[in-house]
């Protein structure tokens, strides 16, 4: 019987794993019982039996996720005294900003002074400058850099560039004002003494990103603006957060919260609102309920388009601010009509919804590959990941090899890992498929200057998944059978690794 080396797979320390061939893959932690938790990474930090697996890239888990107690992985790492884990989380974008609720909570709850020193001395990499979410990063740049802005607000001498399409889609108040009092104006001066520039800046941040950071002293000013702009969700979020901060500060002497932070919930209203811009961009015949009553909601909403895409003789009225990162538009900024070739209108609609709302309607296993090719051509990594998720849902013994090849071709590391994990589960059946044997041989040939006994990446990944969760004698026996089946295949095709 094959003997597993001590500390195989998930038991190896982080620094040893980083020295291996999986150096390029981010590592993360979950406990053995993680499947029973809604938030695996949060539960893991409370566990003393930490396992290392690929998560930040392959598992795609948000590092600032919150559990039902509004606690983050960083908070639990501080609470339990896991210094190495605290450093790892901070290095990968965990939020711990001074004088915020989360920052003060981590400092107050830290197990020892060493952890507190790490938190205070660390050169903070916030989620704002280390975004793994392409959509959030895009909206943040749109707000801060004002690409193709078409409206300027001047609040007591301070200027704010903005986009009518975004403000109108997010707020019924702005949509109405752009069609009435502010119609035709490019500069709006807001001189009312109760409008605070800092509060207005935070309001714009909320409208663009769904997030809000506001000094505690300006919370009432922000609530006043939210009421004027008919943003009831924001008012409720501010009141809830204020109550939570008050309770925390009252019960924890010595803490000081100066900045209030609002973050979007899982069912983000932001994406739903901005999807309206995609609906407005569609030709009339593609809109839901075209020619029927009641009339489409887009009929009464002006999205202020400034760019037209021609696809298969259909016109899509869009916005430069959302498409300005395309190299084609940067080289031809003055041309209002751009004709796209080698793409159907159905596939372009999927791309359109993704760009505006970070999601795409009617993406299915049938069209996922075609959308994936277009996403790769237009440099849309987020859309590629969405396609990868769809393809992962249809993994079976007949398709896993071909999907693995697609994942390799388009550099979808998460999908590739899911494929090799699935292969590990069915390896005893899979070794009988000629397609799998050919894939192993091809993968071995792709290794530059490979020696006779050098490793084969595909085989290494399958072995890793076979051995990573083995904990009982029966599981060891089953894993050995799978490893033997894989070794027999390698011998039959003249490979050794």
**56 vs 199, higher pLDDT:** 199
If one compares 457 and 134, the residue with the highest pLDDT of the two is: 457
Confidence of residue 9 (pLDDT cuts 50, 70, 90): very low
| Kind plus residue range of the DSSP H or E element containing 382 | helix 381-392
Query: What 8-state DSSP symbol labels residue 365?
Result: T
Residue 390: predicted pLDDT: 95
- Sign, CA torsion 354/359/360/363: positive
Do you know the residue count of the chain? 497
Rounded to the nearest 5 percent, the helix, strand and coil shares of the chain are 50, 10, 40
The beta-carbon contacts of 372-375 under 8 Å, at least 24 apart in sequence, are: 372/406, 372/410, 374/343, 374/347, 374/348, 375/351
pLDDT of residue 224: 95
pLDDT of residue 33: 30
Beta strand 51-54 with 158-162: parallel, antiparallel or unpaired? unpaired
pLDDT for the residue 292: 46
Whole-angstrom CA distances from 459 to 57, 244, 423, 438, 495 are: 20, 51, 10, 13, 11
Domain covering 20-34+41-130, topology: 1.25.40
pLDDT band at 89 (very low <50, low <70, confident <90, very high): confident
Confidence of residue 58 (pLDDT cuts 50, 70, 90): very low
Inter-residue contact 28 to 73 (CB < 8 Å): no
The structure tokens listed for 398 are 């007949």
In three-state secondary structure terms, 294 is: coil
Q: What DSSP state is assigned to residue 3? A: P
Least confident of 103-112, 432-441, 457-466: 103-112
Q: Are strands 212-215 and 307-311 parallel, antiparallel or unpaired?
A: unpaired
CATH of domain 137-262: 3.30.710.10
pTM, two decimal places = 0.72
By CB neighbour count within 10 A (0-12 exposed, 13-18 middle, 19+ buried), where does 454 fall? exposed
13-27, 287-301, 349-363, 428-442: least confident range: 13-27
Task: Identify which of 16-25, 280-289, 314-323, 478-487 has the greatest average pLDDT.
Answer: 478-487
Q: Is the confidence at residue 267, as pLDDT, over 90?
A: no
CA distance 414 to 405: 13
Each residue of 70-83: pLDDT tens digit? 788 888 889 888 88
Confidence label for 396 from pLDDT (cuts 50, 70 and 90): very high
Q: Which H/E stretch holds residue 43?
A: helix 40-45
Model confidence pLDDT, tens digit, residues 327-379: 444 444 444 788 999 899 999 999 999 999 998 877 899 999 999 999 999 99
Instruction: Return the pLDDT at 32.
Output: 31
pLDDT at 8 over 60: no
Q: Cβ–Cβ contacts within 10 Å for residue 230, how many?
A: 14
Residue 453 backbone dihedrals phi, psi, to 5 degrees: -110, 10
Closest CA to 413 of 92, 133, 57: 57
Residue 227: closest CA among 245, 201, 256, 203: 203
Q: Would you say residue 416 has pLDDT above 50?
A: yes
Using DSSP's 3-state secondary structure scheme, residue 265 falls into coil
The whole-number pLDDT of residue 294 equals 47
Which one, of 382, 383, 379, 381, lies nearest residue 371 by Cα?
Answer: 383
Give Cβ neighbours of residue 77 (< 8 Å, ≥ 6 apart). Answer: 45, 85, 86, 89
Q: How many CB atoms lie within 10 A of CB 153?
A: 20
pLDDT at 449: 64
Looking at mean pLDDT, say which of 19-33, 100-114, 168-182 comes out highest.
Answer: 168-182
Instruction: Report the alpha-carbon distance of residue 180 to residue 78 in Å, rounded.
Output: 53
The answer to whether 213 and 238 are in contact (CB under 8 A) is no
| pLDDT of 298 | 58
- Terminal alpha carbon distance of the chain: 19
In terms of C-beta distances under 8 Å and separation of at least 24 residues, what long-range contacts does 374-377 make, across chains too?
A: 374/343, 374/347, 374/348, 375/351, 376/410
CATH 3.30.710.10 fits 269-289+299-380, yes or no: yes
Q: Which residues in 96-106 are b (16+ Cβ under 10 Å) and which e? A: bbeebbbbbbb
Q: Which residue has the tokens 């930490």?
A: 50
Q: How confident is the model at residue 321 (pLDDT cuts 50, 70, 90)?
A: confident
Model confidence pLDDT, tens digit, residues 205-261 = 999 999 999 998 999 999 999 999 999 999 999 999 898 888 888 887 777 788 888
Q: How would you label 278-309 residue by residue, b for 16+ Cβ within 10 Å and e otherwise? A: bbbbbeeeeeeeeeeeeebebeebebbbbbeb
The residues spanned by each domain of the chain are 20-34+41-130, 137-262, 269-289+299-380, 395-496
Tokens of 43: 């539960």
- Alpha-carbon span 443 to 344, nearest angstrom: 34
Q: Is the pLDDT of residue 180 over 90?
A: yes
Residue 61: pLDDT band by 50, 70, 90 thresholds?
Answer: low
Average confidence (pLDDT) over 309-334: 70
Fold equal for 20-34+41-130 and 137-262: no
Q: Over 90: is that where the pLDDT of 92 sits?
A: no
Share of the chain above pLDDT 90, in %: 45
Q: Between residues 361 and 403, which one has the greater pLDDT? A: 403
Mean pLDDT of 410-437: 94
Q: Which residues contact 260 (CB under 8 A, 6 or more apart)?
A: 100, 101, 212, 213, 214, 215, 216, 219, 238, 241, 242, 245
Q: Would you state the torsion angle of the CA atoms of residues 225, 229, 233, 236, taken in this order, to the nearest 10 degrees?
A: 30
Query: Between the CA atoms of 403, 404, 407 and 411, what dihedral angle is there, to the nearest 10 degrees?
Result: -170
C-alpha 44/C-alpha 191 separation (Å) is: 52
pLDDT confidence of 438, banded at 50, 70, 90? very high
Per-residue pLDDT tens for 35-54?
Answer: 333 344 444 444 433 443 34
Q: Where are the beta strands (DSSP E) in 206-297?
A: 212-215, 259-262
């Amino acid at each position: 019987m094959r003997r597993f080396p001590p500390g195989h797979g998930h038991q190896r320390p982080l620094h040893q794993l980083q020295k291996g061939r999986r150096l390029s893959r981010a590592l993360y932690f979950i406990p053995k019982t993680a499947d029973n938790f809604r938030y695996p990474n949060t539960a893991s930090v409370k566990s003393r039996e930490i396992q290392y697996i690929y998560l930040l890239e392959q598992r795609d888990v948000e590092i600032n996720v919150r559990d039902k107690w509004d606690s983050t992985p960083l908070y639990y790492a501080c609470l339990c005294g896991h210094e190495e884990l605290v450093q790892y989380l901070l290095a990968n974008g965990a939020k711990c900003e001074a004088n915020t609720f989360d920052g003060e909570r981590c400092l107050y709850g830290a197990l020892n002074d060493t952890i507190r020193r790490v938190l205070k001395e660390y050169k903070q990499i916030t989620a704002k400058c280390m975004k793994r979410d392409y959509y959030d990063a895009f909206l943040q740049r749109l707000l801060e850099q004002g690409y193709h802005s078409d409206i300027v607000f001047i609040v007591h001498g301070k200027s704010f560039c903005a986009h009518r399409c975004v403000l109108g889609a997010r707020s019924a108040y702005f949509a109405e004002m752009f069609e009435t009092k502010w119609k035709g104006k490019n500069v709006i001066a807001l001189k009312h003494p109760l409008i605070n520039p800092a509060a207005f800046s935070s309001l714009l941040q909320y409208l663009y990103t769904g997030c809000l950071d506001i000094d505690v002293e300006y919370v009432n000013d922000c609530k006043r603006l939210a009421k004027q702009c008919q943003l009831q969700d924001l008012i409720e979020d501010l009141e809830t957060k204020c109550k939570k901060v008050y309770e925390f500060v009252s019960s924890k002497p010595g803490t000081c919260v100066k900045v209030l932070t609002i973050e979007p919930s899982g069912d983000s209203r932001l994406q739903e609102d901005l999807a309206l811009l995609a609906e407005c961009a569609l030709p009339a015949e593609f809109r839901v309920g075209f020619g029927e009553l009641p009339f489409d909601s887009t009929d009464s909403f002006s999205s202020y388009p400034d760019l037209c895409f021609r696809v298969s003789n259909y016109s899509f009225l869009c916005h430069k601010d959302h498409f300005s990162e395309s190299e084609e538009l940067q080289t031809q900024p003055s041309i209002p009509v751009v004709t796209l070739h080698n793409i159907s209108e159905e596939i372009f609609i999927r791309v359109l919804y993704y760009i505006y709302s970070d999601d795409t309607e009617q993406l299915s296993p049938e069209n996922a590959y075609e959308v994936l090719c277009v996403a790769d051509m237009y440099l849309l990594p987020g859309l590629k990941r969405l396609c990868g998720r769809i393809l992962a849902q249809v993994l079976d013994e007949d398709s896993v090899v071909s999907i693995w090849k697609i994942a390799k071709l388009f550099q979808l590391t998460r999908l590739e890992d899911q494929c090799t994990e699935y292969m590990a589960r069915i390896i005893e059946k899979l070794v009988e498929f000629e397609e799998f044997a050919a894939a192993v041989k091809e993968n071995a040939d792709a290794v530059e200057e490979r020696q006779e006994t050098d490793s084969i990446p595909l085989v290494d990944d399958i072995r890793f998944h076979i051995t990573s969760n083995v904990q009982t004698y029966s599981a060891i026996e089953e894993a050995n059978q799978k490893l033997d089946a894989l070794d027999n295949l390698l011998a039959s095709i003249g490979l050794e690794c």
